[in-house]
Amino acid sequence: MKIEEIFQTYKECIMPTYNKVPLIFVKGKGSRLWDINGKLYLDFFPGWGVGSLGHCHPKVMQGVRDQISKLIFVPNNYYHPFQAKLACELIRLSFPGKVFFANSGAEANEAAIKLARKFGASTKLSANGEHGRTIGALTGLSTSQGRYEIITFQNAFHGRTLAALAATGQKKYQDGFEPVPDGFKQVKFNDLAAVKQAITDKTVAIMLELVQGEGGINVASRDFVLFLRKICDEKKLLLIIDEVQTGIGRTGKMFCYQNYGIIPDLMTLAKALGGGLPIGVLIAKKELGDILTPGTHASTFGGGPVICRAALGVFKAMQKEKILSNCQKMGSYLLEKLTLLKSAYPVIKEIRGLGLMFGVELNIPGKQIVQAAYTRGLLINCTQDKVLRLMPALNVTKKEIDQAVGILEEALRQ
Ligand SMILES: Cc1ncc(COP(=O)(O)O)c(C=O)c1O
């Protein structure tokens, strides 16, 4: 297909659900991408957080190639050794529990929401205000009588399916899709008092991203997270951490919650876990691992053998290539460079982030900077209108950072 034909086909045959950049990519390796004209780009926002190992990592490709030559798909009513192996690896690296496999971040969050509701259907506040555990089947308690409300946060993003959209809470994403499912309450991020006030006898869980990605790279404070863990323990609420964007090393630890010294009750993963292939995972701590029973939840493609091999390749590469350590080092280096930029360009208001997940908040709309950057060969993102988002591959080098910051400086100067 010729370039114009491709653009035209998109116009005619593909729903216009994305604001698109007029670039056609055909090849990638590490932090580099080549477009259809052979022009090289430095990718500092690989796959919206998918490309933590950059494009086409050999360990991922090796696992995928090997699996494709043997067996591509096994439905979930049978067993497969690599699904078992990936579950073991996820549990080994996180906390004792059980895994549910899906295909995307939104689906992983849907599974978490369903598990929380099922948990809430069998636990309710006793008359004296304390939490007791009653089995729904025995007491005749239905979900609507039990606890079902989930507290989420302003500027959160949990996905585009309806319940995930309700959890997301941002009006701009919900407009036109009402009624969104009931049972979600948004409060201000990092605000202890707001959370306390929002908890009722219907509350069953608190759900958050520890670094809000789409929301503008807002980092949860340590005090806030410790408070959430404590209040969840006291009131028997589930602490659901959405690590779809922060997980798999992005913030310098394998999972972002490990920066805070807490353990969630439920954690969701997606994006970088598949090394470029679609996956979504819910991990529930041990006591919650058997709440979703046969027939209560499912996913046809979830955790298929090819994707499990890809994810195992991701973990193998992370260990062999000391990716977490590189992320920490390169994170500090990039922060240093961005801080220098900030002192030279008053248009930069603030730099926020953790590991290699950075937001550069501007005083002006970021769209023009993103555009100026990509015409010079650097791919970055802008969220919340004014926040440039930089999330390079975790195996990024100093040289690549220097090059990217150089282009960003030119774009800012322009
Ligand atoms: C924190 C978070 N949760 C959930 C999602 C939804 O993931 P997906 O697009 O794979 O459904 C995203 C996507 O950007 C995300 O950043």
The model's pLDDT over 280-318, given as tens digits with 9 standing for 90+, comes to 999 999 999 999 999 999 999 999 999 999 999 999 999
Rounded alpha-carbon distances, angstroms, from residue 284 to 93, 119, 149, 189, 221: 13, 12, 18, 24, 24
Residue 250 near ligand 1, beta carbon < 6 Å? no
This prediction's pTM:
0.95
Rounded alpha-carbon distances, angstroms, from residue 243 to 263, 301, 379: 12, 21, 23
Provide the 3-class DSSP secondary structure of residue 198: helix
Residue 358 near ligand 1, beta carbon < 6 Å? no
The DSSP secondary-structure symbol of 15 reads -
Spell out the residues 6+ positions from residue 4 whose beta carbon is closer than 8 angstroms to its own. Answer: none
Q: What is the CA radius of gyration of the chain?
A: 22
The domain 63-320 is classified under which CATH number: 3.40.640.10, 3.40.50.720, 3.10.300.10, 3.40.50.2300? Answer: 3.40.640.10
**Of the residues 244, 384, 387, 389, which should be mutated to test ligand 1's pocket, given the most ligand atoms within 8 Å of the CB?**
244
List the structure tokens of 395: 């195996």
Provide the 3-class DSSP secondary structure of residue 317: helix
Residue 106 near ligand 1, beta carbon < 6 Å? yes
Residue 256 near ligand 1, beta carbon < 6 Å? no
Give domain limits for the chain. Answer: 63-320, 322-398
**Of the residues 109, 110, 158, 256, which should be mutated to test ligand 1's pocket, given the most ligand atoms within 8 Å of the CB?**
158
Atom number, ligand 1, closest to the C-alpha of residue 212: 1
Q: Give residue 246 CA to ligand 1 midpoint distance, Å.
A: 10
Q: Are 99 and 297 in contact (CB under 8 A)?
A: no
The model's pLDDT over 12-37, given as tens digits with 9 standing for 90+, comes to 999 999 999 999 999 999 999 999 99
pLDDT of 40: 98
pLDDT of 282: 99
Q: Give residue 159 CA to ligand 1 midpoint distance, Å.
A: 5
pLDDT of 122: 80
Q: Give residue 49 CA to ligand 1 midpoint distance, Å.
A: 9
pLDDT of 128: 42
Q: Are 256 and 241 in contact (CB under 8 A)?
A: yes
Parallel, antiparallel or unpaired: strands 32-35 and 40-43: antiparallel
**Of the residues 45, 189, 271, which should be mutated to test ligand 1's pocket, given the most ligand atoms within 8 Å of the CB?**
271
pLDDT of 123: 72
Q: List the one residue out of 128, 365, 355, 160 whose CA is nearest residue 258.
A: 355
CA distance 122 to 139: 9
pLDDT of 137: 33
Residue 243 near ligand 1, beta carbon < 6 Å? no
Spell out the residues 6+ positions from residue 313 whose beta carbon is closer than 8 angstroms to its own. Answer: 57, 59, 60, 61, 62, 63, 64, 275
Atom number, ligand 1, closest to the C-alpha of residue 161: 11
The domain 322-398 is classified under which CATH number: 3.90.1150.10, 1.20.140.10, 2.102.10.10, 1.10.10.10? Answer: 3.90.1150.10
Which residue has a Cα nearest atom 3 of ligand 1? 158
Residue 101 near ligand 1, beta carbon < 6 Å? no
pLDDT of 325: 98
Which residues of the chain have a pLDDT value below 70? 124-145
